[in-house]
Each structure stands twice: as structure tokens, then as C-alpha cells.
Chain A
Amino acid sequence: EAEVAQSPRYKITEKSQAVAFWCDPISGHATLYWYRQILGQGPELLVQFQDESVVDDSQLPKDRFSAERLKGVDSTLKIQPAELGDSAMYLCASSFNWGGNTGELFFGEGSRLTVL
């Protein structure tokens, strides 16, 4: 069964360091999402890609976060410099758009970030 792949599963870093997360969506899925899930809360959308284009990054803290999906397939989310408040689970999801976005997303297992 096709899955969304994410790495690393766990990352511990010190504040002010740089960190990067990678996501490979299900083959053929045009839409890719990065969510942040703080412990005890629901996921919050950081950025949404349609192919290689950003369609929504309104909640992405652009002073320290960046995301790219250069060839419209896999994607990287970067944080530089990391802050204590960035400790969270970073979830990648993808969906197959056909006639518009339907809300049916396939999620990876997530990358848990701990900033010390």
C-alpha cells in the first residue's frame, strides 16, 4: 500500500541550530501539505503546495521557516534558527486532486522535533 514517507522520525537539536525535514508523498498526488502538531493540540497547516507552487503559506513563520517542492514531487521543510517553541510533530500529507481539493488527506508518520 502506498504511503507518505517522512524523515527523520525523531530529531533533537539545540536552539539556534538549523533543522530540515523531508517528505515523499504518494506517487501521483499533486497536493502536498506540511502541518505542525503541538502536543495536545490538533494539526495546524503551515504550507500547502499544488505541484511545485505554494498555494497557502499564510501560517508559515517565514522569518525562520522555509519549504520547497522543486520538482513537484518530494518536499523539504527547514527551520533556521530553531527555537524552543518549535518543539512539535511535523506532519506531511498528500492528496490526489481531481476536480478540486476534497479534504481527503494521506498522512505520513511525522517527524518529532525536540529543541533543547
Chain B
Amino acid sequence: GDSVTQMEGPVTLSEEACLTINCTYTATGYPSLFWYVQYPGEGLQLLLKATKADDKGSNKGFEATYRKETTSFHLEKGSVQVSDSAVYFCAPFSGGYNKLIFGAGTRLAVHP
């Protein structure tokens, strides 16, 4: 069945450091790809998405590119802030199952 593998956390960075959170997936066909973020004490919210190969999703300084050849959707940010501390979930949308498949999540902690 469809699945997603995320980089294990926690990831601990200093403010202004570069961030990469790896995500790879297995899916039927070519799913839309999403990153959701969960800030402390809040529900999940959509961070960015890409719907086809080579698309780049971006929001709040975060970017991720849909790589069909490597079935990956790595999340990147050039300079993280303390306010980026949260749990990040990679989630392909499985057309075969008509639902999002969430990864285990990667906790990011950014220190001043």
C-alpha cells in the first residue's frame, strides 16, 4: 500500500541555520504532495503543496520540490526562526485510496 517515510527527529537547530527534512513516499500513480505543520497546542495546518512533477511548493520561507524520479518531497528553509519550532508532517494524497497518508512527523526545535 501507499506509504511515506520521514526523517526522524527531533531536529535541533540554532536560529538562522539551514533546515532540510527528508521525505520519500511510495504511491500508486502520481499523488499530490503536502507538508502539514503542527505548532505546539494547535491542530495541523497546511504548509505547502505540489501537485505534479517538478512543481515547487513554497510558503513562509519553506520550499519543497516534487521529485518524481526519486519519489521525494524534501522540506527546506534557508534560515529558521524560533517560531518555526513545530512538528512537520509529509503527506502524499493517495488517489488510489482517496486519502492523505501521513508520515510519523519530524519535530523541529529552534533555539535562539
Contact = CB atoms under 8 A, between A and B. Distances in A.
A103 B105 contact: no
Contact of A103 (B34, B42, B103): B34
A104 B49 CA distance: 9
B27 to A, nearest CB: 12
Interface in B32-74: 32, 34, 36, 41-46, 49
A87 interface: no
B7 to A, nearest CB: 13
Interface size class of B (residues with CB under 8 A): 20 to 34
Contacts of A108: 43
Given A45-B99, A55-B98, A105 B104 contact: no
Contacts of A25: none
Interface residues of A, number: 23
B93 interface: yes
The main secondary structure of chain B at its interface with chain A is: strand
B25 interface: no
Interface of B: 32, 34, 36, 41-46, 49, 89, 91, 93, 97-100, 102-105
B52 to A, nearest CB: 13
Interface string A18-41: 000000000000000100000011
Contacts of A40: 104-105
Contact of A43 (B49, B97, B102): B102
B43 A103 contact: no
Nearest to B6: A42
B93 A43 contact: no
A105 B42 contact: no
Contacts of A4: 43
A44 B44 CA distance: 13
